[in-house]
Structure 1
Amino acid sequence: MDSKLKKILVVAETLDVNASSGAKANLGFINSLVSCNYSVTVLHYTRKKVTVDKTDCFDIRERKANVNYILSRSQRVFQRITKINISKPLERIFGHSFVFLNDSKSISKAVLKTNPLTYDLIITLSQGASFRPHHALLRTPQLYNKWLAYVHDPYPFHLYPEPYSWEEAGYKQKENFFSKVSESAKYSAFPSQLLKEWMSQFFPNFKSSGLIIPHQQLKIDVIKDLEEYNGLFHDGKFTLLHAGYLMKQRPPFDLVNAFRKFLENNPSAKEDSKLVLIGYASYHRKGLEFEAQTLPQLQLHLKNVPFSVVNTLQNKASVNIIIESKAEISPFLPGKFPHCVYANKPILALSPKKSEVRHLLGASYPYACQVDDVEEIAEKIELLYLNWLQNKEANLNRPDLEHYLSTDYFKTIIESV
């Protein structure tokens, strides 16, 4: 695409930044398009009113006068009355739920109403394991030559690397669906080179169509008063912060044990150190609450927190922590990575050696190690603490990463298609 490009249509599944990391990534992507001075129209399926500055932003309405809607509601009533969940058997037959299929049709109908042939580029953004906008664009072959399909995570679930051992009902149909996406979209994009390489193993077309567009920072102001969340901020203390969902495959207990070991090795740090874990951790909740009983320096807030609060805490923390799974490879670029970079505080990266996080931070980055190496994590925390004692305002200071995640770099990639 040359510099003549003016009009871009973005079809996003959700823009509710307080509901998911995917929504934050989607909104950051859209804001970067706006900052590049493109004329941007946004269609979103958030199911609530959302506005995006300097865009024409429209929420997509669910279609109700159709077979899939009726079937989805009939299924819901049947399950409520019988207490029998028939979702998986149905997905094994149809590949997707009736709700998904109706949502896809609702999105494609909305796209066609925008006079889509007048746009220079049409970008689909999704979240989680959904990819509804991508499914919707498959219904409009006349738009394939304008379509950029953004692939934020592996799909379907059974194609995730170890230790993720997921397999969805209807996985074969889902794989066929994504094969069609890889063959139909003129352009594809991934937040990391490793993810592009990983997905290209299964869908070879991504090798030639794939661009690397890292997640973008969602720029918002730091809050002066955190109000009900003020207790999560510890002014003047050495605060290690992990903000984000701790799923089953990302256990935090080696981090907790390393923090405990650090305190044992540095008794004077007990009075001025805090490990703060924020976000859902349903699988690990009981274990973490048990640890907190004998570790007063461990603070837990295992529920959702507004993004504006999380962003402020990341900017005020002494250290931001990224936890990934114990694995041979982690092709993901965490959605919070750009926010941690721009918070400009040291990052403690607990990631596999072959990971996008370690790749971007560089082989010489001093605060990265394996997620299960308690001894080394404790040593990294001690090193960070000693540096903090010398300079309470220690920062990350990585202008190379800030450039890589910047609007200027983003524009060079968009202009290249």
Structure 2
Amino acid sequence: MIPQTNKKILIIAESINVEDSSGSKANVALIENLKEAGYELKVYHYSRKEIQLNAIECINIKEIKYGSNYFLSRLQRKIQHNSNLNLAKRLEPIFGFSFTFFNDTRSIGKALKMENVQDYNLILTLSKGASFRPHYAILKLPKFHSKWMAYIHDPYPFHLYPEPYNWDEPGYLKKIDFFKDLAAKCRWAAYPSLYLQQWMESYYSMFKNKGVIIPHQLKKTDELSMLPDYFDPSKFNLLHAGNLMKQRPPFALINGFLKFLKKNPEAEKDARLLLIGSSSYHKKELDILTSNILELYISNGVVNYSTVLTMQKSASVNIILESKAKLSPFLPGKFPHCIKSGNPIMILGPAKSEVRRLLGQDYKWWAEIDDVQQIESLISSLYSIWKNYSVQNKEYEHLSYYMSSAYLRDKLNKIIL
């Protein structure tokens, strides 16, 4: 057990509801490892429901339900619900953000106004998705800036995502201005990956010399559940858990799996490919495939968090699927769970990625996302290993420490003197 410190951290998290997003899961893992590291914590969160974390003071921020932003946000929702108008495309180029965003950040700021910055050694903001509401709220409270660590989990805004995302969004110029202001005023900028830090610093020069790498955290204990009926742990299970976005199509993986079955017909009785999570963009094609491939299982939307963790722990191979790109600066939120399982991880993504950087450029279970031949070869090799003996990857041990509360404590203690 790591001894307690006399250091106190104020955390403002957009959500600590692990069922609402991968970002919230990462938030909770970081908060719990900060507690495990010996820090005294006070957590404000905007989860919209009462949630308590073990032995941590958690305060659910209440939404302000009065004022112009509140009423305009409700009016906008009503108009959009009753018509085909997307008002965001017209309003956000003017204001940068939605009226809901302004009301939410005002609600967060109001909840924090009575806090005394002198009571804390560090002010940490955690977000999810692409909103960065806690960051915007703290930006409006200068008293916190001298101790503020802004955690940046993804590129911002969408306009600055790397290819092949090529996303645009209304009001992106004002969103860029927001992050320029954030870069100038935060004390530290924390990132889950080195490549993300470099990516953001290439657009926002004021982030330079403020960067701290705090990877997604590996928790000592997880709340597991019963395996679902469709998951047979005695089989050779290839598991991908996570959203199948437009930019992360699974079809080369499926074709590589089919090619493997054709070359190894005896594997039909053993092998299963499971794709767990939202896949709405590819639904039409996937429905056709699942009706014709008995060895392929695709979930009907999102699956309970503890169930996914249990499957990852029991899978023969965990799959990380990334986009076809020159660079992937992302560290997937599921990466610590895959490491913790101790089972082989098959990476399908670009040659330059944070996942490959951590596992090593000579990591053998890697292929480009669209390389069907190499994917088949990897699956065949992994199946051969599975048939002969169970493999535990000792090469992951250094990463277990890298994502642990002990490493987190060492990292932060160099900052919070």
TM-score (norm 2): 0.96
Q: Which amino acid aligns with 2:255?
A: N
Distance 1:413 1:336, change over 3 A: same
Q: Measure the CA separation in 1 of the matches of 2:9 and 2:124.
A: 8
- Taking the TM superposition and a 5 Å limit, the aligned residue runs for 1:182-261 are 182-221=183-222, 223=224, 225-226=226-227, 230-261=228-259
Specify the SS of the correspondent of 2:189. Answer: strand
Q: Secondary structure at the match of 1:43?
A: strand
Whether 2:379 is the aligned partner of 1:387: answer no
Paired residue for 1:277? Answer: 275
| Contact 1:188-1:210 within 8 A present in 2 as well | yes
SS at match of 1:354: coil
* Alignment-derived partner of residue 323 in structure 1: 321
1:293 aligns with 2:294: no
The residue number in structure 1 matching 2:80 is 79
Match of 1:354 among 331, 352, 356: 352
SS of residue matched to 1:208: coil
* Aligned match of 1:416: 414
Secondary structure of 2:209's aligned partner: helix
The structure 2 residue matched to 1:365, chosen from 348, 363, 366, is 363
Q: Any idea what SS the aligned residue of 2:123 has?
A: strand
Contact 1:329–1:352, Cα closer than 8 Å, also in 2: yes
Q: After alignment, is 332-341 or 402-411 more displaced?
A: 402-411
Residue in 1 that maps onto 2:343: 345
Partner SS for 1:201: helix
What does residue 161 of structure 2 align with?
160
Q: Which amino acid aligns with 1:171?
A: Y
Deviation at 1:204, TM superposition (A): 1.1
Q: For the residues of structure 2 that align with 1:191 and 1:206, how far apart are their CA atoms? A: 15
Paired residue for 1:43?
A: 44
Q: 2:122 corresponds to which residue?
A: 121
Tell me the alpha carbon deviations over residues 36-77 of structure 1, each in whole angstroms, 9 at most, x when there is no partner: 111100000000111111211000000122221121112223
Q: Distance in 2 between matches of 1:218 and 1:282?
A: 30
1: CA distance between counterparts of 2:106 and 2:293?
A: 52
| Structure-2 separation of matches of 1:375 and 1:118 | 58
Structure 1 residue 111 and structure 2 residue 112: aligned? Answer: yes
TM-aligned CA distance change 1:235 to 1:205, over 3 Å: same
Q: Give the Cα–Cα distance (whole angstroms) in 1 for the partners of residues 360 and 69 of structure 2.
A: 49
Residue identity matched to 1:275 = L
Kindly indicate whether residue 53 of structure 2 is the aligned counterpart of residue 52 of structure 1: yes
Deviations 1:104-157 (A, max 9, x none): 111111112333331110100001110000000011111100100000000000
Distance 1:320-1:4 versus aligned 2 partners, 3 A rule: closer
2:306 corresponds to 1:308: yes
CA gap 1:5/1:188 in 2 versus in 1, 3 angstroms:
farther
Unaligned runs of 5+ residues in structure 2 are none
* TM superposition shift of 1:395: 2.0
> Is 167-176 or 82-91 further displaced after alignment?
82-91
* Structure 2 letter corresponding to 1:317: A
> Is the CA contact (8 Å cut-off) linking 2:117 and 2:143 kept in structure 1?
no
Matched residue type, 2:45: H
CA RMSD of aligned residues (A): 1.4
Within 1, Cα distance between the matches of 2:225 and 2:176? 47
The separation in 2 between residues aligned to 1:218 and 1:133, in whole angstroms, is: 24
Contact 2:244-2:279 within 8 A present in 1 as well: yes
Q: Which amino acid aligns with 2:187?
A: K
1:5 CA displacement: 5.2
- Aligned-pair identity in percent equals 47
Distance in 1 (alpha carbons) for counterparts of 2:93 and 2:60: 31
